[in-house]
Each structure stands twice: as C-alpha cells, then as structure tokens.
Structure 1
C-alpha cells in the first residue's frame, strides 16, 4: 500500500507502472489503427463483453459491500465515493442519481472527486498524486465510524484514494476498494476489496474504457442493492421516486396503477392526498400513497407506521393487515 508518510506535496514515485493489468498492451487490438471502422466497433464489443464476467467473479464481495453499506446507512451513516479522474466522475454520477431515484437526502450518498466540481468537466489528473488530498477530503466531510467510504481507483495506485481510505480506517469507517488490478499487484487494507479484472484496454492504459464500464456496473449494483435493502424498492418498483418533474410524475402514476386496481385518474388523486401530511413530509409520496390505499390510514398514520419499520413498505403493510 502507498506509504502514509508521503508529504502532502509529494507525487507517487515514478516506479514503472507498466506491470499493472490496466497498463498492459492488449494483443487483440495491437493493429487498431489498421482496422476498418466496423472492425474497430467489433473489437470494442468483444472486449466490453468481459465486463459481465468480471462482475460475476466478484458477486460475493459486492453482496458483502451492499450489506455493510445498508447496515451503516440504516444507523444514520453516509455512503461516500472517492476517486480521481474517470473513477471520481463515476462516483459523483452514481451519488447524484440517488436523490431522484430513491428520494434520498443529498447527504446520504456523496461523491468526492480530486479537484472538486471543476474536475468533473476539466481534467485535474495531477491532483490524484496527493495522498494528503485524500486525507483532507475525508476530514472535510467529517467521516465517522457510521460512514462507508468507497475508494475507486481503476489502476489501484492512486495516492489520493489510498490516503482517503487510510484516513477513513483511522476514523473507524467501513472501507471498500474498487479496482481493476489484482491484489498481487496492489495490496491495500480495507474491509471489502473488490477487484474488477477486465484485462488490458483496447487503447492501452485508457481506463475510461472497459475499466470505466465495469466500475459503472459495480456502482449501479452497489447503490441500487443498498437501497433495496433499505426498503426503497417494492418488488422491482422505485417506490421512493422523487416526484419532481413530468417524467417522474408519470412514473409515479404508473407504479400506483401497476400495484393497485386504480385508474390513472384515481392514482393521481391518491398521490395528491399523500402530500397532505403534518409531519414535515409535505410532498407527494408513492410509498405513502400505496400504504394509504392498502390500509385506509391517513398520511400521518402512514408515516408513523413506515417510521416504525424504517421505511420498509412491505413490513409496514404486513403489520397493518
């Protein structure tokens, strides 16, 4: 693991990283510049197919990460993704999609990228070499033992990510590492170590390709699985969807119609009634609307019942019926 003794203005030693799986040359694309356009597409398609088997090979580790994250968030903890470059951007993207999909408060799932918001649209790759930058990011977010920190580093060596995970462990947080190199090449001390081994890139060293794709798949599974465990899904419906625009309003109505015998007009009326709460939840809620419909409870009673079951609709419905 990268040494915690590196000074804050130090860069990672230039120690020939060509041995890393993500930096090796892919023999199946060695003549990439000589291929026809269709052949280029075919090469990418064959290589991208490897991301599926890579996810399958870490299924147990992903399940463990989901259970650990759900346990901590259930106790009031937060889920942080931290990375640099493409890895950081993917973490920020996944975190940003949780509030509209699952109606989570913005602080529940957060993405941290080296260089801050400017790095989302403009390269700040040099900042990934600062171990102390990762330490500072964890301190700035007041990470505690309740929290979960997912360090994302395709090539595995990013000092910024290693510093963040080391500081998180000091603070007692649950730590998860996502990387695309084997443990034998980069070792690290974390609670859950997930290695997404997709092999060398079509374009040597360009980890925005297969490595980025498999990382996105893993984050999709991690965040969605965690939200399922937190009771934000009923069947395969996103019952905590935030009804904040026309598309999401339409989705909310379709969910209500699918799970009940209501017409679209009746579902819309029920959705409006679900917002009439005196408990500080004055927003339209598919979950609350469903419980009201199934039990005859009013919005406030539905909220109290859901609270007793930590927002789990299936458990609340079972108690009421």
Structure 2
C-alpha cells in the first residue's frame, strides 16, 4: 500500500544553517500558525471520537493512549494531567509508551518496531471491551501502535487514532481516525514540531471535552481539581467565593473541611 507521507517530505525552507535567529524563529512561527487550521479541518472526526469516548466512560470504560517517542510522551502528558485537573481516578485515562516508562526521557532502541508489545502492555491494565484505545503516531506507520490497534479491533475494543498522514496504515486501522495533515516540517522529518503540536491540540480537545461531558467542570471552573499546592488552594477558595456569599476566611475553612470546591459549595447550598 502506498500513500504520501507528508510528514517526511522536504521542508519548504533550505539553508537553515545560514539563517539568522530572527529568520529561524519567524519561519518556524509562520509554519506553526498553520497547525490550528489543519486541526479545524479534522473537527468532525474529533467530535465522533470524543462522543464515543464519553459513551464508553459513562458505562465504566477507560481511555488509553498508546504511542512511541514524541507521540507516546504526549499521550502520557495528557493522561497524567487529568487526575489533578478534573479529580478523576489515576487509571481512568492512561498513557502507554513503547519501551516503558524509561522511554519517557530516553529513546529505547527498536521499541516502536515491536508489533506485539502494545497488546501485551494493554493486557497488563486489564483492557476490556468497555475501554477505548487511541493510537498516536505522526507518520501513521509505527508498528507498535498499529499492532496494538489491530489486536484491539480483533477483541472488539473501540479504537481511534491521531495521525498526520492521510491514508496511512494507522488511519485505515483505527475505527475512529483523526487525521490532521500539517504538511512538511520546518526541519525535514522532525515531526516533534508541527505534527507534535497538532497531536497536543487534539489531545487537549479529547480529554477536556470528555471531562466536561462527564460533569467534571461547572460553569467554566475546575471544581474537582486536586488541591496539590498553595496556588491551587487559593484558586479553589476564590472559586468558592464566586459561587456563594462567604469571606475568604470562610471559604478557606469550607475548602479545608470538604476537600474540594464542588463539595464545599454543595455543603453550603444544602
């Protein structure tokens, strides 16, 4: 099967080493400006995928991201930020990277080429038909990710993907593909740049929209956030003051007693 791997095509710019810092930054920025427009074209695909994730989670399912290299790291970042932001259990959204946790900081040789390992990694989490697995790969050709989704499909587990190449093997494997075509990178083949930015934007959309649909945001506030530092405690106190007629000291006491903005406000309302 042949397809155009635009993420590997030659950069629109050449002789980069002869450019000034100003010109380098300007050209990188100009390329970055195109990414949100590429994501916009994929909104219908993202909507379908998010709706499926919400449906599954409402029936007790979980979300898994699988990827290698930059893509795997982006999935882990998104997953790790859901518990503190939305107060959900740590195993509701999970990021899995080829090569295991050590690959978060250092590349693990040939880890992404193992087509069987992703399914083994998913089984360690007790993956079931209630869950959704989203494969992330800019190229759309990573064996680790494709192999994982193929096994999920064979076991009736819902699959999605985020990739940047139209018609790629990954896009054709996922039941709910999201394809954001960002074109050639400023540095040829460096998909941590525009492709990585596109993946991050889509991940933000998936997790945030899902959590809002699950009732984890009230108005526009993170009322279930974990109060893990002084800044967040202060933010929580001010959220409470914005919802009910109490002083800063009274709001602080309510927050300390109930442990969350939502519970503090609900207790006062009752």
- Counterpart pick for 2:9 among 24, 36, 41: 24
Q: Give the match for residue 25 of structure 2.
A: 41
TM-score (norm 1): 0.81
SS at match of 2:156: coil
Give the Cα–Cα distance (whole angstroms) in 1 for the partners of residues 265 and 45 of structure 2: 34
Cα separation, partners in 2 of 1:123 and 1:184, compared to 1, 3 Å = closer
- Map residues 1-321 of structure 1 onto 2, 5 A cutoff: 19-27=4-12, 29-183=13-167, 187-274=171-258, 284-294=259-269, 296=270
**Does the Cα contact within 8 Å between 1:150 and 1:177 map onto a contact in 2?**
yes
Give the Cα–Cα distance (whole angstroms) in 1 for the partners of residues 212 and 139 of structure 2: 30
Cα separation, partners in 2 of 1:179 and 1:65, compared to 1, 3 Å = same
Specify every segment of 5 or more residues in structure 1 that has no aligned partner in the other structure, as ranges.
2-14, 275-283, 297-321
**Does the Cα contact within 8 Å between 2:146 and 2:173 map onto a contact in 1?**
no
Cα separation, partners in 2 of 1:184 and 1:92, compared to 1, 3 Å = closer
SS at match of 1:122: coil
Larger CA deviation: 61-70 vs 230-239: 61-70
Aligned residues: 270
Runs (4 or more) in structure 1 with deviation over 4 Å come to 184-187
Give the Cα–Cα distance (whole angstroms) in 1 for the partners of residues 15 and 119 of structure 2: 42
Cα separation, partners in 2 of 1:184 and 1:111, compared to 1, 3 Å = closer
- Structure showing greater radius of gyration is 1
Alpha-carbon deviation of 1:135? 2.2
SS at match of 2:116: helix
Cα separation, partners in 2 of 1:72 and 1:131, compared to 1, 3 Å = same
Alpha-carbon deviation of 1:185? 7.2
Alpha-carbon deviation of 1:184? 6.1
Cα separation, partners in 2 of 1:186 and 1:171, compared to 1, 3 Å = closer
Cα separation, partners in 2 of 1:187 and 1:79, compared to 1, 3 Å = closer
**Does the Cα contact within 8 Å between 2:146 and 2:169 map onto a contact in 1?**
no
Give the Cα–Cα distance (whole angstroms) in 2 for the partners of residues 42 and 125 of structure 1: 34
SS at match of 1:144: coil
RMSD: 1.7
**Does the Cα contact within 8 Å between 1:85 and 1:125 map onto a contact in 2?**
no
Give the Cα–Cα distance (whole angstroms) in 1 for the partners of residues 142 and 265 of structure 2: 46
**Which structure carries more relative contact order (alpha carbon 8 Å, separation 6+)?**
2
Give the Cα–Cα distance (whole angstroms) in 2 for the partners of residues 31 and 139 of structure 1: 47
SS at match of 1:97: helix
Give the Cα–Cα distance (whole angstroms) in 1 for the partners of residues 129 and 10 of structure 2: 41
Larger CA deviation: 225-234 vs 71-80: 71-80
TM-score (norm 2): 0.95
Specify every segment of 5 or more residues in structure 2 that has no aligned partner in the other structure, as ranges.
none
Q: Which whole-Å deviations, capped at 9, do the CAs of 1:157-206 have from their partners, x for residues lacking one?
A: 00000011111122222111100101267652322110111110000001
SS at match of 1:228: helix
